[in-house]
Amino acid sequence: MEKYIFVDRRIRKIEEDTLKKMGYKIIKVSYMNSVYEEISSHVDIFILKLDDTLIIQRKMYEELLKSSSEFNEFLSENSINKKVSVVVSDEVITQKYPNDIKFNVCNISNNVIHNFKYTDKLALRIIEEKKLNKININQGYSNCSIAVVDDNSCVVTDKSIYQKLKANAIDVLLVENVERKIKLLDASGKKYSNMHGFIGGTIGRLDNKVIIFGDLNYIDSNNLIRNFLKAKNLEIVEFKNLEVIDYGGIILI
């Protein structure tokens, strides 16, 4: 089966071309007007992967069926290879918090991190069935706030999240005062928003590589993140002289 990735439809051409050259087929997440435009195509607002289960919000699922040949190709291949179990959730995603965070769960190995008062009900059931370790935090945008590096490592910018994950034996790098340097896009993808992004939406693990959507130096002038990734023997894929953009992360199948 081909390797597929879900990513924001606003991804820059050089990023898209690089991912394709790396051997990935790209499924661009559709625009949804039920949330504010900056997150209208963010992966982690509408889609959640828990181990070998892919949960997709119903309206997003239906939109992808209509608009993405790559998504239909993925479903066809997956029906034969059964690489993941694809399930559809009827939860409604709307702009008003916390109705936009139901799928924004971070999964690190056997751990799931979220404010579980607001988690999608189907996702909660699957978490229980898989006996995943629930780590409750106050930040509803959990996946946005945590950049997963490997099965037991991540980068965060929030001290309270850092302390909670450290207490659960996760190897965490805390970097502060960087998120105001991370850009969000308007609906067109041509202009930056006045809002800033999150670190989890800018960094994604792809096999033995970590992709940075932009130039890592813009958010890592002291090389803390770079050295942390190198210590894990991970190759860094970045885009020199480009602003760092939060696309809501990336999901690899």
Task: Note the pLDDT of residue 152.
Answer: 96
Segment 11-19 mean pLDDT: 98
Render pLDDT for 32-76 as a digit per residue (tens, 0 to 9).
Answer: 999 999 999 999 999 999 999 999 999 999 999 999 999 999 999
Looking at residue 97, its pLDDT comes to 94
Per the structure, the count of domains in the chain is 1
- Mean pLDDT computed over every residue of the chain: 97
3-class DSSP string for 144-192: HHEEEEECCEEEECCHHHHHHHHHCCCEEEECCCCHHHCEEECCCCCCE
| The residue to which tokens 């992967």 are assigned | 49
- Model pLDDT, residue 150: 95
Is-above-0.95 flag for pTM?
A: yes
Which pLDDT score is estimated for 92? 97
Q: Model confidence over 176-202: pLDDT tens digits?
A: 999 999 999 999 999 999 999 999 999
- Which residue range(s) make up the domain with 63? 3-252
